A and B are shown apart, each in its own frame.
Chain A
Amino acid sequence: MILIHCPYCDEKRPEIEFANAGQAHVVRPVDPSTYDDAQWEAFLFIRANPRGRHHERWRHIHGCGRFFNAVRDTVTDKFEATYKAGKPRR
């Protein structure tokens, strides 16, 4: 089982305390009414699925309950960093 560092609790906790919440830094439409079909497709469905460095959101659902971002290698599953939501992309 993977150990994940929660940047709010500042502790490494087992993976089962956390829920993955998909790709990080997906920006919501500022003015949705101006979006065409291609932009909606990109926002709703197209996801980075890299072999290697991946930015993703996690939620410490059985802990502090807060969302944070992480950088993880998808081949080794090793976490490079976790950082608080709202902080710039690592």
Chain B
Amino acid sequence: MTRFSGLNLFAKALGGHKGWAEQWPDAVPKPAYDAIIIGGGGHGLGAAYYLAKKYGINNVAVLEKGWIGGGNTGRNTTIIRSNYLYDESAHLYDHAVKLWDGLSQELNYNVMYSKRGVMMLAHNVHDVQSLQRHIHANRLNGVDNEWLTPQEAKAYCPPLSISPQARHPVLGAALQRRGGTARHDSVAWGYARGAAALGVDIIQNCAVTGVRRGVDGAVEGVETSRGYIASKRVGVSAAGNSSVIMQMAGLDFPLESYPLQALVSEPVKPTFPCVVMSNTVHAYMSQSDKGELVIGAGTDQYVSYSQRGALHIIEHTLAAICEIFPIYRRMRMLRTWGGIVDVTPDRSPILGKTPVTGLYVNCGWGTGGFKATPGAGDLLAYTMAKDEPHPINAPYNLDRFRNGRLIDEAAAAAVAH
């Protein structure tokens, strides 16, 4: 692996940038591995990276049915924050935010983590009370979050309309300054490159078609479109398709998969300095470094794997955006797309062991999994290496739907529900 540096970049530039080696090899599956990760998104690649880096398990394969980062990792709106209400959530998401902080250096790959601040708007008295409760709970957990008056919110994000006559008046906002965005593709590529350098096989175009279990019930390996691969340790990190994989292992999971849409505008000069979210009216927006406004919409109301989503969902979001940011009313939208998100009944992820020996899971992140990418990878790796959950992800077990210890996190989804 070529280490990226200023000097290296300069030297390669002299050769017209023709001397770069491939960043990681497109591996062919071996008959057996010490561990297999199903799902080559940021979470799965991160888990493989940390398995090799922190726990010395290098004989690992990441199986991806399409291409690396082509699922939800490349389809989200790249928002990073940790301002969640409950203690368990604050610990989980802040663990990830702390890892985001040094990730570019750790991977020697620029993931463009930009702490531009995430501002959540309050449009009514209930929003004000709810956001202030979040702020207090966050600060008790050591997570930064502060209250802004409408004028302060306007100063932080000038395109915001705080007119009292507005359709959605702004009564205040909660601002997490450490929140922000990152380049989602870079996260997948950085982890893939880092993991491959440590000996992990990144196998694309390899769909899992079955999970083989032995007479004792434990996992023995997986059937794939490229043949059978043996492993006594299998981690599932397959986002919207997690319940499909679990069905192959004979497990029913409390998951439902929905299309979630996003869209970008034509690129314009920098006008939008932060991330603004309005859960009440379904509007989430930031501006990418390319200049596109990146807009997140809500989920469709029905279970689907179509990766499309209906137009009226986007119309609803754009109507809200036009009211809150009137300056953008004449912007033209360039592209829209959808990803399939797996939603749990309490809107919190399932991250830990399963009833099947040797089968581990990282799923249920719903509409907000990108921000947790480094944390989820790290914790899945820990759980697979030690065969027990880390204290941070211990509450996120599957048993909670049986014993009732739900983590009922309304803030977990970026959509009101």
Contacts and interface: CB of A to CB of B under 8 A. Distances in A.
B partners with A = yes
A37 B403 contact: yes
Nearest to A1: B310
Contacts of A37: 402-403
Contacts of B310: 1-2, 15
A34 interface: no
A74 B256 contact: no
Contacts of A2: 310
Contact of B401 (A20, A45, A49): A45
Interface of A: 1-2, 15-16, 19-20, 22, 37-38, 40-42, 44-47, 49-51, 54, 56, 72, 74-77
A88 to B, nearest CB: 22
Contacts, number: 60
Contact of A16 (B241, B243, B312): B312
Contacts of B244: 49-51
Contact of A56 (B253, B303, B312, B345): B303
A73 to B, nearest CB: 9
Interface in B307-332: 308, 310-312
Contact of B303 (A15, A19, A45, A49): A49
Nearest to A46: B252
B243 A72 contact: no
B304 A77 contact: yes
Nearest to A41: B402
The number of chain B residues touching the other chain, given as a range, is 20 to 34
A51 B305 contact: yes
A46 B253 contact: yes
Nearest to A36: B402
A15 to B, nearest CB: 6
Given A1-B310, A41-B402, A19 B301 contact: yes
A74 to B, nearest CB: 5
B254 A74 contact: no
Judged by DSSP, the binding face of B is loop
Interface of B: 241, 243-244, 252-257, 301-306, 308, 310-312, 342, 345, 401-403
A74 B308 CA distance: 11
A80 to B, nearest CB: 14
A49 B255 contact: yes
Nearest to B403: A37
A20 B302 CA distance: 6
Contact of A45 (B241, B254, B302, B311): B254
A71 B252 CA distance: 20
Contacts of A72: 302
10 contacts: A1-B312, A20-B301, A22-B256, A37-B403, A44-B345, A45-B345, A47-B256, A74-B257, A74-B303, A77-B304
A47 B252 CA distance: 8
A49 B257 contact: yes
A56 B297 CA distance: 24
Contacts of B301: 19-20
Contacts of A42: 252
B254 A46 contact: yes
A38 B402 contact: yes
B254 A75 contact: no
Contacts of B304: 74-75, 77
